[in-house]
Structures are given as C-alpha cells and as structure tokens.
Amino acid sequence: MIPIRDTIRSETYPVVNSILIAINVLVFVFELYQGQGTNRFVYTYGLVPARYSVPQMASYFTTGQQIVAFVTFMFLHGGFLHLLGNMWSLYIFGDNVEDRLGHFRYLVFYLLCGLLSGLSHLTLNWHSEIPTIGASGAIAGVMGAYIILYPKAKILTLVPIFFFLHFVELPAFVFLGIWFILQFMSAAGSSAQAAGIAWWAHIGGFIFGIILLKLFEILPQTGADKKFRGLTHKRSTPRLQVIRPAQVGDNLNSYAVIDVSEREALLGTRKLVNIAKGFRKNVFMLNVPPGVTEGSKLRLKGMGKQTPEGLKGDLFLKVRIRDL
C-alpha cells in the first residue's frame, strides 16, 4: 500500500516538517560523497547495538560518538528509495501532527520518537552488528500520533491487486492499522541478526508516538510557539474543494458554495473543484475573478442537472468569504 494524500488540511505551514525533510535530503547527499568511506561513516553515525553490548567494539568509539549516534542514525538512509519512502510518509502525515502540537513541541516529539524507536531496536537486538539507520522509527511515531488525532481521515492509497493498480480511499485507522500489523508480523518472522529493515524500531516508534502524544497534549504551548504559529498560519482556503450541488424543486439549476479568503476575493484565485454527484465526480479548474464579495454568484453554464432529453441547467456557486 502506498499513501498518496490525506484529506486533512493543516491550518499552519509545516515549517518544522519541511526542515526535517530538507535535513534528511542534505545528509543523504553528504552520504553519497563519502565514496569508499560510506561503510565507516554509517558505522560511526548509525545505531549499532553491538557497539554498546560488546566491550571490544565499544573501545573503537568515543563517548561522544556513542551518544550522538542515538540522534544521527535517524537522519541516515541506505538508498534513494529508502529516503523517498520515508520522506513521502513524513510529508503526508507530519504536517497535521505539527499543526496540532505546534512547531516546537512537534520537533521535540519527532526527535523523542526517533530516540525511543532506536532504544526499542537496541533492546531487542542487543548483540546485532548490523547498523540501524533511517527516519522510519521517528516517522512511525508521527503515524502513531496521526491515528489517534485523525482516525477517520481518508487516505488515498495506491493498492496493487494482482497486475493492476487501484486507488482506494481508506480511513486512517484502517490504513495505519494494517501498516502496524504488517510491521509486527514482519518483526515476529525475522531473525534478530537478519539484515534488512528494523521492524522493532517501527513498532516501538509507533507505540511511543501514541504515548508521547498523550503526554504532549497535557503540556501547554509556550508563548513563543503560539507567536510562531500566528506567523505560519495559512491565509488561503484549500486549493482543492469538494462541493455537493443541491437542486431546488424541479429547477434544472444546481447550487453550491465555494470558500475563498479575503485576500483571494480581492485579488482573484484559481481553485481545483471536485463536483461530487453520487459516484460520479467531475474535477475542473475554477477561475474566481478579482473583486468578488460575500454572496457573489459564479455561474457555470451547463453543469447543473441534466434531463433524459439532454437539457442541462447551470451550476451557481455562491462565494463565501472566510476570515482566516
């Protein structure tokens, strides 16, 4: 299953989430420049359980290297696809969790999820000499928070069925629930010394993400976080809007509402509109002209109700200005 997008729009710009993605990409580029020293680089800054359990291995590393590896391991990746998969999941789920927690609390939350996921892997693979790298554990924590905050959000998912690819909208609790079960089954069926994915880091990150969310929701936001949130608050309405037209009596015309911000009403804007009519969906680009006011009507000719004889009504969109 590959998540494509979710239906929850964040009210603030995901500044911290975007910075985390940028840091991961930059570190990966730096990894590529290591050349023949890549293995040494990964063993130094990745999380290798045997470095802490085997004295002979521990002697090759300084105390600082042993400590910093608990943070640096979550910014390293084993390849482009590894990086792409992690960053795409962080992009989809991270913005909403950051929106709920606030920017600074989200940063601390993310790092703690990564740290605790690493400790989970370390505990259950105590003598493994295989380095654990990647943001998967921290992102699993973000996904654990998401399933609690937005269980009924819809996740557009690409599902391969035999030789065909299908797009399916799944509730978040279904998508993430299946994901967690697959992680657990994979962890139970793999050897502690087997190379590959650190399944227990994913599981630990997911569980600790739920626990940490509950703790962070108790803690109040700082004044700095509230001020920063005001600066990053979005001033525009969603670019993609779903409308469900209604008819009045036997009139062929249909009526619906389109939301715009005060700035968009003044300067004009373009919206991607999804007209839902039962199982049929018609997606088109709508130009909202500058200078519209509250209650202005936009007429879309021929997009209303259609009779069996081929007669078509119009669709009237009433402008609703939202104070953002």
| CATH entry 2.60.260.20 includes domain 240-322 | yes
User: Under a CB-based contact definition with an 8 Å cutoff, are residues 271 and 258 in contact?
Assistant: yes
Report the SS3 class of residue 283.
strand
Q: For domain 2-231, give its CATH number from 3.40.50.10860, 3.90.700.10, 1.20.1540.10, 3.40.50.300.
A: 1.20.1540.10
Average pLDDT of every residue of the chain: 85
Residues 320, 324: Cα–Cα separation, whole Å: 12
Cα dihedral value 139, 145, 148, 149, nearest 10: -110
List beta partners, residue 159: 166
pLDDT tens-place string over residues 37-90: 888 999 999 999 999 988 888 888 889 989 999 999 999 998 899 999 999 999
Residues 6+ apart with CB under 8 A from 297: 316, 317, 318, 319
* pLDDT above 90: percentage of residues in the chain: 37
Report the SS3 class of residue 224.
helix
- Residue ranges covered by each domain of the chain: 2-231, 240-322
- The confidence score (pLDDT) of residue 96 equals 94
Residues 259, 265: Cα–Cα separation, whole Å: 9
- The confidence score (pLDDT) of residue 139 equals 95
